[in-house]
Amino acid sequence: MRAVIPYKKENAKSRLSPVLTLGEREEFVELMLKDVINTLSKSGVDKIDILTTSIYGVVDDIETNVIVSELGLNEVLNKYLTKISEPVMIIMADLPLVTTRHVREITTSDKDVTIVPGKGGGTNILYIKDPARFHVKYYGSSFRTHCDIAKEMSQSVYVYDSFLASTDIDEPQDIVELLLHGHGMSKDYAKQKFGIEVSEGRIKLSHAV
């Protein structure tokens, strides 16, 4: 199986700036990437490509193919899809809650395209059986857009409903979910930095003592 991971380390995750410095954010996103790669590898995905605008911060201790391009996300991914002749999973690098079970269930669907929605109408994962018959359009309400693209291309769609796979780590409150449900290096890193506290019935992030 093949997967491709769009990735950017430089100046990453600005919405986490209230709780993490720039250096900490860059370290954090690299650990999340490693967790995603490890999950894919354990799931039997033996071809992993990383799409990035800069070689800066790309992990060198895991076997992956790195594709560097200054093109925008949609342009580079659509160019990539034209060159792939096998099923491919597009998975974001900030999904450390994804497990091997998720990957296996997504890749064994009998539909042409499997879509994992993200928070706020985004798309966290796309599994495309025939890349030549699909194109992507991220940003905005990309989940609805990708459903429409599949319909226009006469592709059957499976919407994979999973809280963990739909949780990308973008904002401080998302780190709570990582601490509660996560695994791997990014959770260990978060545990060094943060704790959780219950306030008025809601769990909130707190800095570790």
Query: pLDDT tens digit string along 48-70?
Result: 999 998 776 566 656 688 899 88
| Of 102 and 63, more confident | 102
pTM of the model: 0.93
Residue 34 domain flag: yes
Residue 205 domain flag: no
Residue 183 domain flag: no
Residue type, 198: V
Residue 201 domain flag: no
pLDDT at residue 59, rounded to an integer: 61
Residue 28 domain flag: yes
Residue 188 domain flag: no
Q: How many domains does the chain have?
A: 1
**pLDDT higher than threshold 60 for residue 81:** yes
Comparing CA positions, the residue from 166, 165, 196 lying closest to residue 19 is 196
Side-chain half-sphere CA neighbours of 64 within 13 A? 28
**What are the residues facing 49 on neighbouring strands?**
4, 65
Range of the domain at 140: 2-167
- Give the mean pLDDT of 103-127: 96
Q: How many CB atoms lie within 10 A of CB 145?
A: 16
pLDDT tens, 6-60?
998 888 899 999 999 999 999 999 999 999 999 999 999 999 999 998 776 566 6
CATH assignment at residue 17: 3.90.550.10
pLDDT at residue 28, rounded to an integer: 96
Q: How confident is the model at residue 206 (pLDDT cuts 50, 70, 90)?
A: confident
Q: How many CB atoms lie within 10 A of CB 7?
A: 25
d(CA 168, CA 174): 7
pLDDT at residue 56, rounded to an integer: 63
Helix locations, the chain, DSSP H? 22-42, 73-82, 100-107, 142-152, 172-181, 184-193
Q: How many CB atoms lie within 10 A of CB 3?
A: 26
**pLDDT higher than threshold 90 for residue 195:** no
- Give the mean pLDDT of 102-110: 97
pLDDT at residue 203, rounded to an integer: 79
Residue 56 domain flag: yes
Residue 181 domain flag: no
Residues comprising the chain, all counted? 209
**Are 52 and 8 spatial neighbours (Cβ–Cβ below 8 Å)?**
yes
